[in-house]
Amino acid sequence: MGTAVTYERQGQIGVIRVNNPPVNALSHAVRSGIMDALATAADDASLAVVLACDGRTFIAGADITEFGKPPQAPSLPDLLLALDNHPKLTIAAIHGTALGGGFEVALTCNYRIALATAKVGLPEVKLGLLPGAGGTQRTPRLAGLPAAVDLITSGNPIAAENALSLHLVDKVVGENLVDAAVAYGSELVEQGAQKRQASTLPLSLTTEDEKLIASVGAKLLKKTRGERAPQRILNCLLAAATQPFEAGLKREREEFMACLADPQSAALRHMFFAERAAGKIDSLPKDTKALDVASVGIIGAGTMGGGIAMCFAQAGIKVTLVDMTDEAVKLGLEKIAKNYAISVKRGRLTADQTDAIMANMTTSSNFNDLAHVDMVIEAVFENLEVKKDVFAKLDGICKPGAVLASNTSYQSIDAIAAATTRPESVLGMHFFSPANVMKLLEVVKGAASSDTVIATAMAVGKKIGKVSVLSGMCYGFIGNRMLRHYGREASLCLIEGSTPSQIDSAMESWGMAMGPLAVSDLAGLDIGYKAREQLSAEQKGDPASYRVADRLVEAGRLGQKSGAGYYQYDPETRQRQEDPAVMAIVTEARRELGITPRQFDDEEIVNRLTLALANEGAKLLQEGIAQRASDIDVVYCYGYGFPRFKGGPMHTIESMGLDKAVTLINEFRDQLNPEHWQTAPLLTNLVANGGQLADYHRD
């Protein structure tokens, strides 16, 4: 049986225990161990069998690292066939999170008992998969089709009590789970309980169900922007309600295998591990301890500062929100309260919850009130001199050891740190707008930032629910440095012959949450315009890459805030519409620069924009600004609306083939602009040596 699974008798009850840290995933050793234990239990004198797990959780699913490798018998479906046909009563004892294949194991048992703190769910859709071991067939038979549709297409786990009310769990206990499960088993035996197989429960399709499946399908098509697993899940659920169990199971297997072979699932599985890898900092000594952060000061009560304050207050950390005047902090706080009022109205939070969050916030217009906080995050105007002044002031006020962070998007952390006498305490914590919604946090390491300060920022990021990625110091850090190249190519595609709607639609159909020009309109075209005003002609680069944007601003088209930018916006719905006036501006800019427009196809747009990102990403990787390629993917998927089902820009080129990516980049270099398209040496080297971005580590 090995060490991953053990079997023992407690009186008349056999107890199978899985012990496969950290999450008891169904690796080959676990599958074969359970299979052996079931065989032992079938032949001994036990009257019922409890399946329980050691450690922090019940089985949290198939072992994701095994996907894509040659299958090893027994497969999970084979194991579940043996479990379903087992001669004894079977009882799953659930604690922690019974997820995916783990919950499918539990659903195949005859009875389920759970700790009140446990959660159950079928999160496969988040990996571009579907429950492939009977989950799509057993769940609707136990809980009904509407509940199954919700559980499996959302992938979100539900609490034990909720599962109880949906008949997915039979009993909930507060403590001593395994003892309670053994007692439950004895009770069932005494009562003469029969084996109860979800597979034999009846299920039919009502007209209401049919309507539900059609409407959920339509909604998901729009929401998931091209993900295929949700539709495949609905196919399986439809089969569950219209076909015998065996036929439904066969359909599920076919759809599961199709998902597994789909590059979307490979990308989503890549993202699963990428998110977890991002939290690990290779250069930090193992014993580095993060400081406790119980209180934080946020400087700047504008949109950004307010959003950051919300993140901390929601995580139970005391916030002091500071701005120059009482009026500014009052306005900031009102805006926060308004945001929470909307959340209450939409049912996302209760009034009591928002009161508790607001109670974590105090405001001040006096920097001296930051004397005792554990961490300060500066979110003032994006100007180096202003930021240096703030940090010099903080240096005189804050207690020794306080972490001093800047939310700058571009400025040098080293220059900011040099304004203090404690550069080791200074680093960047770059949030993305709206800060209370966007998951990404770039933690920017300055030359002097200490290990403790870096570890603290990463730990705090996790505590406030962000996915944190470490970036080294360069202009724009990981995300915005790459974005310049993406934005440049979008502008060049426009002036060379495309249209705003073709560019945005091409990128959106490919999977981006929003096309690049629509994003510029949302952010405000005046921001880039003002930034360019500070630059020399040389720094601004190729005029073709900003001429149209300049002319739009000069025509008063600042983006959504002025009702028009690259598009015209409906004042009520904010729906974008093409505007002939924009194409007149584009035509004039082409004439000024002597550009003859040409036909564009969507593929060129997608290739130019994604390869511009990835090529710069490879340079960041080689320079050591990013720790690993997958960190860059996390930055783009969580901060810039890159589709997770494409796995980020680096995974995109890895999966298209680095040789093909380099060939295209070289073609762009030769045909478009050698300065814009300097092929990253790392990519050329990897192609020459047959290497992979995923394996690249800078020495």
Cα gap 604→47, rounded to integer Å:
66
Cα gap 535→421, rounded to integer Å:
31
Which residue number, 58 or 486, has a Cβ lying nearer to ligand 3H9?
Answer: 58
Cα gap 672→684, rounded to integer Å:
19
Which residue number, 249 or 507, has a Cβ lying nearer to ligand 3H9?
Answer: 249
Taking the complex as a whole, the smallest distance from the CB of residue 57 to ligand 3H9 amounts, in Å, to: 6
Taking the complex as a whole, the smallest distance from the CB of residue 104 to ligand 3H9 amounts, in Å, to: 6
Q: Which of 270, 430, 485, 676 is catalytic?
A: 430
Which residue number, 61 or 297, has a Cβ lying nearer to ligand 3H9?
Answer: 61
Taking the complex as a whole, the smallest distance from the CB of residue 18 to ligand 3H9 amounts, in Å, to: 13
* Residue that the structure tokens 């922690």 belong to: 96
Which residue number, 276 or 399, has a Cβ lying nearer to ligand 3H9?
Answer: 276
To the query of whether residue 167 is one of the catalytic residues in this protein, the response is no
Query: Could you tell me if residue 327 is left (phi over 0), alpha (psi between -120 and 50 degrees) or otherwise beta?
Result: alpha
Taking the complex as a whole, the smallest distance from the CB of residue 139 to ligand 3H9 amounts, in Å, to: 11
Cα gap 581→567, rounded to integer Å:
9
How many other C-beta atoms lie within 10 A of the C-beta of residue 284? 14
Taking the complex as a whole, the smallest distance from the CB of residue 462 to ligand 3H9 amounts, in Å, to: 9
> Are 686 and 659 within 8 A, CB to CB?
no
- Cis peptide preceding 400, ω within 30 of 0: no
Which residue number, 100 or 559, has a Cβ lying nearer to ligand 3H9?
Answer: 100
Taking the complex as a whole, the smallest distance from the CB of residue 56 to ligand 3H9 amounts, in Å, to: 7
> Are 376 and 297 within 8 A, CB to CB?
yes
Q: In Å, what is the CA distance from 512 to each residue of 188, 236, 614, 650? A: 53, 28, 15, 15
Cα gap 635→621, rounded to integer Å:
13
Residue type, 680: A
Which residue number, 156 or 350, has a Cβ lying nearer to ligand 3H9?
Answer: 156
Taking the complex as a whole, the smallest distance from the CB of residue 131 to ligand 3H9 amounts, in Å, to: 4
Which residue number, 31 or 676, has a Cβ lying nearer to ligand 3H9?
Answer: 31
Which residue number, 61 or 140, has a Cβ lying nearer to ligand 3H9?
Answer: 61
Dihedral sign (CA 554, 560, 563, 567)? positive
> Are 631 and 478 within 8 A, CB to CB?
yes
Query: Quick one: tokens of 423?
Result: 């550069």
Residue type, 419: A
> Are 245 and 200 within 8 A, CB to CB?
yes
Taking the complex as a whole, the smallest distance from the CB of residue 289 to ligand 3H9 amounts, in Å, to: 19
The beta-strand segments (E) located in 211-306 are 295-299
DSSP state of 113: E
Q: Which residues bind ligand 3H9 (CB under 6 A)?
A: 22-23, 25, 57, 60-65, 76, 97, 99-101, 104, 123-124, 127, 129, 131-133, 135, 273, 276
Which residue number, 127 or 626, has a Cβ lying nearer to ligand 3H9?
Answer: 127
Cα distance from N-terminal residue to C-terminal residue, the chain = 42
Phi and psi at residue 276, to the nearest 5°: -75, -35
Which residue number, 75 or 505, has a Cβ lying nearer to ligand 3H9?
Answer: 75
Q: In Å, what is the CA distance from 139 to each residue of 131, 143, 251, 622? A: 10, 6, 15, 48
Taking the complex as a whole, the smallest distance from the CB of residue 205 to ligand 3H9 amounts, in Å, to: 23
Q: In Å, what is the CA distance from 290 to each residue of 279, 285, 371, 406, 427? A: 13, 12, 20, 18, 14
Residues forming beta bridges with residue 6, ordered by sequence position: 17
Cα gap 585→552, rounded to integer Å:
7
Taking the complex as a whole, the smallest distance from the CB of residue 66 to ligand 3H9 amounts, in Å, to: 8
Question: Where are the alpha helices (H) located in 559-657, listed in sequence order?
Answer: 580-593, 602-623, 629-639, 648-656
Task: Enumerate the active-site residues.
Answer: 430
